[in-house]
Amino acid sequence: MDTEKLKLSQTTDGQAPRAGFETAGAPAPINPATGMHEAYWVLSEEERSKGFVRPVRELYCHLTCGAETRMSRPIAETYARDPSYYGATFCVKCRAHYPVGESGEFVWSHDGQKVGS
């Protein structure tokens, strides 16, 4: 995780990053039962309260398998405040993380725009 982003971030579970994950892409390891990290980085509430440059959208589609995934509100607001904050997101069907952005594998279900762009 970029040092500047870390200054503006907190974890989704409100806990300190796990040992060894202080500057990692996620602040906690992947839970093998779900394929998701135990916690994720999000922009702090203070940073998100400054407003959004994109709409807050919670539902996205994985173009590879067609599954829709719903993200938590803090993660959705982080995307809306800083669309390039994340480099990947999770697919509930594939149970793995894949790239986002212009060449990524996900689109917002609402409007078909690439997630992370």
Ramachandran angles phi, psi of 25, nearest 5°: -60, -25
Q: Is 116 within the bounds of a domain?
A: no
Domains: count for the chain: 1
Helices (H), the chain: 3-7, 45-48, 73-81
Domain with 38, as residue range(s), is: 3-108
In this prediction, residue 3 carries a pLDDT of 87
Q: CA 20, 31, 117, 48: dihedral to nearest 10 degrees?
A: -70
Q: Is 113 within the bounds of a domain?
A: no
Nearest to 1 by CA among 22, 17, 20: 22
Q: Is 117 within the bounds of a domain?
A: no
Q: Is 38 within the bounds of a domain?
A: yes
Q: Is 69 helix (H, G, I), strand (E, B) or coil?
A: strand
**What pTM value is reported for the model?**
0.93
Nearest to 9 by CA among 80, 74, 63: 74
Q: Is 115 within the bounds of a domain?
A: no
- The band of 92, judged by pLDDT with boundaries at 50, 70 and 90, is very high
Give residue-wise pLDDT tens across range 50-68: 999 999 999 999 999 999 9
